[in-house]
Amino acid sequence: MQLYFDEKTELFQAVLKISKLIQNAGGRALLVGGCVRDALQNNPCKDFDLECYNISAERIQEVLQNDFKLDLVGMSFGVMKVHHYDIDIALPRKENKTGAGHRGFMVDCIPDLTYAEAAARRDFTLNAMMYDPLKKEFIDPWNGKKDLEEKILRHVSDHFSEDPLRVLRAMQFAARFDFSVAPETVELCRTIPQNELPVDRIGPEWDKLLLKGKNIAAGIDFLQQCGWLPTELKEIPLPPLEQIPEQRTGNEKEDRILALSVLCHTLQDDAIRTLLDQLYRLNGLADTVIAMTTCHSSLQQSHKISARKIRRMALVVKNIDLLLRVSACCAPERHHLREQVRTQAEALGILYTPPIPLLQGRDLILHGLHPGKAMGELLKKAFEAQLDGEFSDHAAAIEWLQKELQNGEYDFS
């Protein structure tokens, strides 16, 4: 069975050259994992993993040294990275659980393992498929192709339970591919403890769910089935998540805020902080999401939004467009209100950025005033007046300032 890769690319030509050099040395290089899965789905492959059989790591380095530079940092795990190419070269290996967490393993590289034995350490059957790029031979020791065609995530072996990170991989795969999880895999996941994972490994998996998921609800539902759903989300009905993919822009930071704001839009502020502390270590993320959910709630309770209110919302959320995309996910029926807000925010010049104070300290200094508490109070009052719509350009701001100074209420001594 032949899989179709873009063989004209420099990257795939490097794959072929490495495979040929390995073959000439008596070994066999097989493409493994995601690149094989993606090829079967007719998706482009941006990186490749080669697993090399019947050849030692030392011999691989020897036969490649004239053509490729290798990074050996991952050699303790039997992995070498090819400089200038997104290619990993690995040896077949067995992993033995030696401690807690997803890194508590001892790795034994065994070049003469059978294909089924080597693939047994992989997470899902659809990631345990192999392909010989020279012989055009497809190898499927765990029936991954059938599961891929039937859109099922199924663990390869009981070794799956040794790495708790794989539960979150099942979560994000279910969402990204819109696959169901095999009942026996769900049951196995129910037995895996959650407390062995550090937050720095949790966040990236949730990002794949929220930033790449086609069906985010499938991932959340899987967590619920296997008992891994965070407590804060168990206490609320599953929010509408199906519109999130349509509202993404590709800006990672904004898309994360969008998805989390939708997911948390019915949670109280304390619950949002607790939840996000479990998932991420990103400064200010909880504050930003809380700002979004608060303003969304205010938007929901309104029938018409004044320019004054839009300015103040923009000051809180920093991005009215993003707030409107959150609203489009949570309350799609309110499109008329969103169009009104969008039109006004665009006219005010604050659709994507918050209002900037028109009156600055240097303006007060030019009027003979000195820095101090009174100046701070005057600038604060000026910005409030700007938000209320009393002036909208710098010239009008200066007129407002001159009138305020005529009142003589400020002590600048």
HEC readout, the chain: CCCCCCCCCHHHHHHHHHHHHHHHCCCEEEEECHHHHHHHCCCCCCCEEEEEECCCHHHHHHHHCCCCCEECCCHHHCEEEECCCCEEEECCEEEEECCCCCCCEEEEECCCCCHHHHHCCCCEHHHCCEEECCCCEEECCCCHHHHHHCCEECECCHHHHHCCHHHHHHHHHHHHHCCEECHHHHHHHHCCCCCCCCHHHHHHHHHHHHHHCCCHHHHHHHHHHHCCCCHHHHCCCCCCCCCHHHHCCCCHHHHHHHHHHHHCCCCCHHHHHHHHHHHCCCCCHHHHHHHHHHHHHHHHCCCCCCHHHHHHHHHHHCCHHHHHHHHHHHCHHHHHHHHHHHHHHHHHCCCCCCCCCCCCHHHHHHCCCCCCHHHHHHHHHHHHHHHCCCCCCHHHHHHHHHHHHHHCCCCCC
pLDDT at site 76: 73
Tokens of 222: 């899987």
User: What's phi and psi for 292, nearest 5 deg?
Assistant: -65, -45
Tens of pLDDT, residue by residue over 3-30, are 888 888 999 999 999 999 999 999 999 9
pLDDT at site 302: 83
Reply yes or no on whether the pLDDT at 271 is more than 90.
Answer: yes
Tens of pLDDT, residue by residue over 72-97, are 887 777 799 999 999 999 999 876 55
**pLDDT, mean of residues 390-403:** 95
Each domain of the chain, given as residue ranges in start order, spans 10-149, 164-229, 240-356, 361-407
pLDDT at site 1: 74
Reply yes or no on whether the pLDDT at 327 is more than 50.
Answer: yes
Q: How confident is the model at residue 388 (pLDDT cuts 50, 70, 90)?
A: very high
**pLDDT, mean of residues 398-406:** 92
Least confident of 261-265, 310-314, 370-374, 399-403: 370-374
Q: How confident is the model at residue 116 (pLDDT cuts 50, 70, 90)?
A: very high
pLDDT at site 77: 75
Kindly report the length of the chain.
Answer: 413
**pLDDT, mean of residues 266-279:** 96
Tens of pLDDT, residue by residue over 192-237, are 998 888 889 999 999 999 999 999 999 999 999 999 999 999 988 8
Q: Which of 95, 281, 100 is nearest to 195 (CA)?
A: 100
The superfamily in CATH containing domain 10-149 is: Beta Polymerase, domain 2 (3.30.460.10)
**pLDDT, mean of residues 96-120:** 69
**pLDDT, mean of residues 310-315:** 96
**pLDDT, mean of residues 117-126:** 93
